[in-house]
Amino acid sequence: MPEGTVNYRDTLRDIAAYDHGIVTIANAEAVDVPAVEVRKLAQRGALERIGHGVYRFRHGFPRTRGTAEAEAVAIAGPGSLLEGESVLALTDLGHANPAHIEVALTTQRRRQLPSWIAATRRTTLKPADGTHYHGVPSVTVRVALAQVRERLPRQRWLEALEKARRLDLVSAEEERELRTNGR
């Protein structure tokens, strides 16, 4: 390749290295890779389309813990966060095994999401309620525990809370607050 020539595939690989092999049209365009070039790479077999404007490299990025969750959040769109039992499953707290990947939508979405994603519009989430676990944008464990408190059997919820405290995923103060009022 001549000196100074841009290699879009390498540029996208650099992005994907931080996101489970996933590339979106939005983050490609943010590094000056045109959408048409992303689609060309998909047509040539380097990328696989997994959702509207969302692609995954076919090779070089093995599926690991968090890959399915990262795909769900990317498909749901910018500002989306993993939530509820899906956060507990990703962080290995308790026996959480959700039937769908739970995603919080912080903005309005018009497009249909795949049936394996359970999306809920959340208007009260604050920036402090978000973080990343295994490279996946997520609500904090504290928020996730509050979200599932009434859905999980009490003993399972308490086990998850205690394990979260042991792993420093919630502070002693957050643990007290969750035990007292669920928030």
- At residue 86, the pLDDT reads 96
Task: For Cα atoms 124, 114, 56, give the angle at the middle one, nearest 5 degrees.
Answer: 100
- At residue 4, the pLDDT reads 44
Share of the chain above pLDDT 90, in %: 83
Work out the mean pLDDT of the chain and round it to a whole number: 91
Q: Is the pLDDT confidence value at 81 over 50?
A: yes
Q: Is the pLDDT confidence value at 2 over 60?
A: no
pLDDT digits (tens, 9 = 90+) for 125-174: 999 999 999 999 999 999 999 999 999 999 999 999 999 999 999 999 99
Q: Is the pLDDT confidence value at 3 over 70?
A: no
CA–CA gap between residue 124 and residue 107 (Å, rounded): 11
pLDDT digits (tens, 9 = 90+) for 46-72: 999 999 999 999 999 999 989 999 999
Grade residue 6 by pLDDT with cuts at 50, 70 and 90. Answer: low
Helices H, strands E: what count in the chain? 8, 8
Grade residue 96 by pLDDT with cuts at 50, 70 and 90. Answer: low
Instruction: Extract the tokens encoding 93.
Output: 């707290």
Grade residue 1 by pLDDT with cuts at 50, 70 and 90. Answer: very low
- At residue 109, the pLDDT reads 76
Closest C-alpha to 100, from 112, 111, 84: 84
DSSP states along 105-166: ESS---SPPPTTEEEEE-SS--GGGEEEETTEEEE-HHHHHHHHTTTS-HHHHHHHHHHHHH
Instruction: Extract the tokens encoding 66.
Output: 């968090």
Query: What are the φ/ψ torsions at residue 139 (nearest 5 degrees)?
Result: -75, 160
- At residue 182, the pLDDT reads 56
